[in-house]
Structure 1
Amino acid sequence: MTSLVREIPAAPSAIALMHFSNRLTFETDCSDVYASQQAGEVDFVLVDVRGPLAFDRGHVPGAINIPGRLLTADGLRDYPKTSLFVVYCAGPHCNGANKAAVKLAALGYPVKEMIGGVTGWLDEGFALSAASAAVGCAC
């Protein structure tokens, strides 16, 4: 009897390598962001795309708040097109970071999503910049 895991065969190794390598060009995780911050190697713009209220209740240290709806060419004119944006939202249940990444890419900026968002940050045991239990998405 075949398990549910093997019911659909795994991709050949070469295809899996390409797939998982490509994913890393689109995303980073909370641990990598934290480690970069701790090492003083912050060569990216960390953007919390939730609404201002959620941001004020607690956000990743070093993040700026640009709600997704405000990601416009005019609003980003001070950022060179070489600026790498790392966007996040409330967590895996929120697609605000994905929507923001689409907007940034369409505007010609390199962008990665910090997978896990605020939920992932807290799951890793990292502190937010302000104390709060509310991390909802008002994207």
Structure 2
Amino acid sequence: MTSLVRHVPAAPSAIALMHFSNRLTFETDCSDVYNSQQAGDVDFVLVDVRGPQAFERGHVPGAINLPGRLLTAEGLAGYGKSTLFVVYCAGPHCNGANKAAVKLAALGYPVKEMIGGVTGWLDEGLELSTQVQQPAATIIGCEC
């Protein structure tokens, strides 16, 4: 008898290699963000895409708050097109990071999602911050 796991056969190794390698071009995880911060290797802009109130209650240290409505060409004009944005939202139950990634990619910016979001950060035993970081670039029309 075949298990439910094997009911659909696994992909051939070459296809699995391509699939999982491609996923890494779209995603990073909480541990990689944290370890990069600890090593001082922050060559990305960490963006919390939740609303200002959620951000103020607690966010990943070093993050700026740019809710999806602010992700416009005008709002991001101060960032070079080679700026890597790492976006996150509340967690796996929220698709705000995916929506933000779509907007950023459509505007021509490289983007990755920090999988797990705030939930993943806390699951790793890491602490949230309530200190507000100012965006490196001026955000036009920001009402936060």
Q: Same fold (TM over 0.5)?
A: yes
Measure, in 1, the Cα distance between the counterparts of 2:22 and 2:46: 21
Which residue is 1:104 aligned to? Answer: 104
Measure, in 2, the Cα distance between the counterparts of 1:125 and 1:34: 11
Q: Tell me how far 1:77 sits from its aligned partner.
A: 0.2
**What is the percentage of aligned positions where both structures have the same residue?**
87
Measure, in 2, the Cα distance between the counterparts of 1:96 and 1:69: 11
Q: Kindly provide the amino acid, as one letter, of the partner of residue 51 in structure 1.
A: G
Which residue is 1:135 aligned to? Answer: none
Q: Tell me how far 1:70 sits from its aligned partner.
A: 1.0
Which residue is 1:43 aligned to? Answer: 43
Q: Kindly provide the amino acid, as one letter, of the partner of residue 94 in structure 1.
A: C
Runs of 4+ in 1 over 4 A off after TM superposition: none
Note the alpha carbon deviations across 1:42-74, whole angstroms, 9 max, x for none: 000000000000000000000000001110000
Across the two proteins, how many residue pairs are aligned to each other? Answer: 131
CA RMSD of aligned residues (A): 0.9
Give the TM-score, by structure 1 length.
Answer: 0.93
- Tell me the SS of whatever aligns to 1:47: strand
Which residue is 1:88 aligned to? Answer: 88
Measure, in 2, the Cα distance between the counterparts of 1:68 and 1:120: 20
Which residue is 1:123 aligned to? Answer: 123
Which residue is 2:59 aligned to? Answer: 59
- Tell me the SS of whatever aligns to 1:56: helix
Unaligned runs of 5+ residues in structure 2 are 132-144
- Tell me the SS of whatever aligns to 1:73: coil
Q: Tell me how far 1:78 sits from its aligned partner.
A: 0.2
Measure, in 1, the Cα distance between the counterparts of 2:60 and 2:33: 10
Unaligned runs of 5+ residues in structure 1 are 132-139
Measure, in 1, the Cα distance between the counterparts of 2:129 and 2:107: 29
Measure, in 1, the Cα distance between the counterparts of 2:69 and 2:26: 21
